[in-house]
Structure 1
Amino acid sequence: MLMDQMEPPVAKLTLLLAALFGATGVALGALAAHGLKAKLAQNLLEAFKTGVHYQQVHALALLGIGLLALHVGQSRALSVSASMMVVGIVFFSGSLYWLALGGPRWLGPVTPLGGTLLIGAWIALAVAVLKIP
């Protein structure tokens, strides 16, 4: 499908969020390496770094989803994948950041919920790919 035939706002938003998650992931990684290393217990620093890693990996995945949408056209499965990935990043990585920095323990169950959403996002992406003619 041609670029002008798809819904640009959805692809553009996905690409914008990928860029923002990528940029903030680098900033948070630098914070972990330089600002938090001496301030957090090793297990909390590792949790924070895990959040950064997952955020960066999924920022790249969002970039791929946005580019795929531009190439083949927007689909419901791509929209679902992008949405689940965004919420999954916020829940998974965000809860790890907050917990590592002393946030309330009730956030603990949010992390696996975010992970489940990330898994669902990858499955939705697979469905989208299978529907490409």
Structure 2
Amino acid sequence: MILNNKIKIFLAVASFMMALAISLGAFGAHGLKSILDEYMLKIYHTGVEYHFYNTFGLFIATFLYALKSNSKKIYIAIWLIIIGMCIFSFSLYLLAVLSMPILGAITPIGGSLLIIAWIMITYEILRP
């Protein structure tokens, strides 16, 4: 399989996001454990957990795009995954670290983008 530039970029982004998820997870487990209370640490951990899940999903979506590189829906869905993952996880990271409840209001926007992305991919997989 020959990878075009878009696919290479998406794979590079997914690889970077995985490294970032590991780093932020380790930071939360070791660096924030003594600073945050249990509730805020759980919020932070939720951000890390979804960061990991959606990074794996980003790899999968990119490989699907490599198989169907003419699919605009998968291309758009990949961008929605990237944007949604950043909004969802980073709003939780910042909410926990900065203790700013207002940031929790934007978390569902990221979650909604992720749901839309995965529904688009489902549609594209099932489309004849």
Q: What's the TM-score, normalizing by structure 1?
A: 0.89
Query: Who is 1:128 aligned against?
Result: 124
**1:90 deviation in Å?**
0.7
Q: What residue in structure 2 maps to residue 9 of structure 1?
A: 5
| Residue 97, structure 1, aligned to residue 88, structure 2 | no
Name the Cα RMSD after superposition. Answer: 1.6
Residue 110 of structure 1: which of 106, 115, 121 is its match?
Answer: 106
How does 1:1-133 map onto structure 2 within 5 Å? 3=2, 8-102=4-98, 104-131=100-127, 133=128
Residues 3 and 73 in structure 1, CA contact (< 8 A), matched pair in contact too: no
Query: How far apart are 1:104 and its partner, in Å?
Result: 3.6
Shift of residue 130, structure 1, vs aligned partner: 1.7
For residues 86 and 70 of structure 2, the distance between their equivalents in structure 1, rounded to whole angstroms, comes to: 23
Aligned length in residues: 128
What is the DSSP-based 3-state SS (H/G/I as helix, E as strand, rest coil) of the residue aligned with 2:58? Answer: helix
Does the aligned pair in 2 maintain the 1:84–1:121 contact within 8 Å? yes
How much does 1:14 deviate? Answer: 1.6
Cα deviations by residue, 1:74-105 (Å, 9 ceiling, x for unpaired): 41111111011011111100000001011543
Q: Percent same amino acid among aligned pairs?
A: 34
Normalising by structure 2, we get a TM-score of 0.92
Runs of 4+ aligned residues of structure 1 deviating over 3 Å after TM superposition are: none
Asked which structure has the greater RCO (Cα within 8 Å, sep 6+), the reply is 1
Question: Partner amino acid for 1:40?
Answer: L
> What one-letter code is carried by the residue in structure 1 that aligns with 2:63?
L
Q: Give secondary structure in 2 for the equivalent of 1:37.
A: coil
CA contact 1:55–1:89 (8 Å) conserved in 2:
yes
